[in-house]
Amino acid sequence: MASDALQGGSRNEVDLNTNARMSSRRTTLAVLNTNKRMNFPQVILEGAIAGGTAGVVVETVLYPIDTIKTRLQATRFGGKIDFRGLYSGLGGNLVGVLPASALFVAVYEPLKQKLLELVPDHLSSIAHLTAGAAGGAVASLVRVPTEVIKQRLQTGQFSSATKAVQQIVVKEGVTGLYAGYGSFLLRDLPFDAIQFCIYEQLRIVYKKVAKRELGGPETALVGAVAGAITGAVTTPLDVIKTRLMVQGHTKQYKGVIDCVRKIVNEEGPRTLMKGVAPRVLWIGIGGSIFFAVLERTKQLLAELSLKNSMEVSSRSNGKDL
C-alpha cells in the first residue's frame, strides 16, 4: 500500500510537471501570437531580417543554376551555352537581393496578418495572394535594377557590376536600369502571389491533417513544392522578361507583346518554355531553402523578443517589490 501511494504520488508529480510544461508552452505561444498581432513594427523588423537572410542564402547557393537558365533563355536559334563563370555578378547581385528580400517580407508579413484578421478563414488565400503581390510590387523597386545588372553580367555583356551600371546609364539613361520593368512585374507579381499562396495553403492543410506545427524538413518540402509549381507556370513570363532585360540599347523588342510575337513567329512557341528545367530545379530548391530559413529565422527572432520581454517584465516586477 505504501509503495502504491509512493508510486501514485510520483505519477501525480510527473503529471503536474507535464501539465506545467504544456501550460508554459501554451502561454509562450499565446504571447508570441499576441505580439505578432499587436506589434506591427516588430513584425516588420523581424520580417525584414528573416527575408534578407533567406534571400541571401538562396541566391548564394543557387546562383549557378540561375546563370545557366538565363543563358539558355537569352540565346537565339539554338546557340551554344557557355558554362564558364557561373558565379559572375554574384557579389553585386547580393547587394540588391538583401534589401529586396527584406522589403518583400517586411511588407508581406504585416499585410498578411492584417488581411487575415479581416477575411473569413475559408478566404485566407485572398489575403496570401494580395500580400504576396503587394510585397512583390514594393520589392520590385530594388529587384529590377539588380536583375538587369545581374543578367547583363551572366550573359557576358559586362565584367563587373560597377561597369555595368556606368555603361547602362551612359548608353541607355537611368531608365536602362529598369529595362523590362513591365515584363518583370508581369512575371513577379503573379509569381510572388502564387508561390506564397500555395505555400501558405499547403501549410494550413498539412497542419490540419497532422494536427501540429510543421518541422524544418516539412517546411522545406512544402516550400519546394510551392516553388516548383510556380516556377513551371511562370516560365513564359520569365523568358519574356529575360529577353527584354538583356537586349540593351539595340531595342530588338519594342515591348511585351512585340517580344511574344517575334519569339513565336521566329523561334516557335516552345521557345517560351526555354529554361523550364533549370528554372523549376532552381526555384524548387530555392523555395525549400528560402521558406525553411525564413521560418526558422522568424522563430528565433520571436523567441529572442519574448525572452527580452520576460527579462524586462521580471526586472520591473523586482523593482515593484
User: Phi/psi at 161 (nearest 5 deg)?
Assistant: -65, -40
Name residues whose C-beta falls within 8 Å of residue 137's C-beta, 6 or more positions apart in sequence: 185, 189
Indicate the DSSP class of residue 39: -
* CATH number for region 40-301: 1.50.40.10
pTM of the entire predicted model? 0.71
User: Which residue matches cell numbers 508570441?
Assistant: 32
How far apart are the C-alpha atoms of 149 and 70, rounded to whole Å? 12
Instruction: Give the pLDDT confidence of 99-143 residue by residue, as tens digits.
Output: 889 999 999 999 999 999 999 988 999 999 999 999 999 999 988
Residue numbers in the chain where pLDDT is lower than 70: 1-38, 77-79, 316-321
Cα 127 from Cα 111, distance rounded (Å):
8
Cα dihedral across residues 116, 120, 122, 127: positive or negative: negative
* Among 159, 146, 148, 141, CA closest to 249: 148
DSSP string of 252-294?
---SHHHHHHHHHHHH-GGGGGTTHHHHHHHHHHHHHHHHHHH
pLDDT of residue 92: 72
Domain ranges, ordered by start, for the chain: 40-301
Cα 167 vs. chain centroid, distance in angstroms?
A: 30
Whole-number pLDDT of residue 93:
75
Contacts of 271 (CB under 8 A, 6+ apart): 239, 263, 264
Coil vs helix vs strand at 183? helix
Question: What is the secondary structure of 47-111 as a DSSP string?
Answer: HHHHHHHHHHHHHHHHHHHHHHHHHHHH--TTPPPP-S-TTTTHHHHHHHHHHHHHHHHHHHHHH
Nearest-angstrom CA–CA distance, 158 and 172: 15
* Cα diameter, the chain: 95
| Structure confidence at residue 86 (pLDDT) | 82
Cell representation of residue 169: 546609364
